[in-house]
Amino acid sequence: MSIGTRVLAVNVGSSSLKLDVWEPNLSRALVKLEARGIGCGQGTVVENNSAVASQPIADHDAALKALLQRLPEADRIARIGHRVVHGGSRYHTPAWLDDAVLEDLQALVPLSPLHQPPALAVMRGCRRYFPGVAQAAVFDTAFHAGLPPRASTYAVPAAWRDAGVKRYGFHGIACADIAMQLGRELRDRAVFLHLGAGCSATAVFQGKSIDTTMGFTPLEGLVMATRGGDIDPGALLYVQRKFDLTPQALDRLLNEQSGLLALSGFSADMRDLLQCQDERAALAVDIFCYRAAKAVGSLAVVLGGVEQIVFSGGIGERSAVVRARICDLLSALGVAVDGAANDAHSAVISAADSAVRVQVMAVDEGRQIVRETMALLDAS
Active site residue 353: no
Helical spans, DSSP H, in 98-157:
99-107, 116-129, 149-152
10 Cβ contact list (under 8 Å, min separation 6): 17, 18, 19, 80, 81, 82, 83, 122, 123, 126, 369
Question: Exactly one of 59, 98, 140, 230 is catalytic; which is it?
Answer: 140
Opening angle at CA 194, ends 86 and 199, nearest 5: 65
Contact yes or no for 364/312 (Cβ under 8 A): no
Contacts 24+ apart (CB under 8 A), 26-33: 26/367, 26/370, 26/371, 29/364, 29/366, 29/367, 30/6, 30/72, 31/71, 31/72, 32/366, 33/67, 33/70, 33/71
Taking Cα atoms as reference points, which of 373, 366, 292 lies closest to residue 329?
292
Q: At what angle do helices 99-107 and 116-129 cross, to 10 degrees?
A: 160
Torsion of the alpha carbons at 16, 19, 25 and 28, rounded to the nearest 10? -80
* DSSP string for 216-255: SSTTSSS--SS------HHHHHHHHHHTT--HHHHHHHHH
Give the other-Cβ count within 10 Å of 257's Cβ.
13
Burial class (CB in 10 A: 0-12, 13-18, 19+), 259: buried
Give the other-Cβ count within 10 Å of 222's Cβ.
24
Q: What is the DSSP letter of 45?
A: E
First to last CA, the chain: 23
Residues catalogued as catalytic: 140
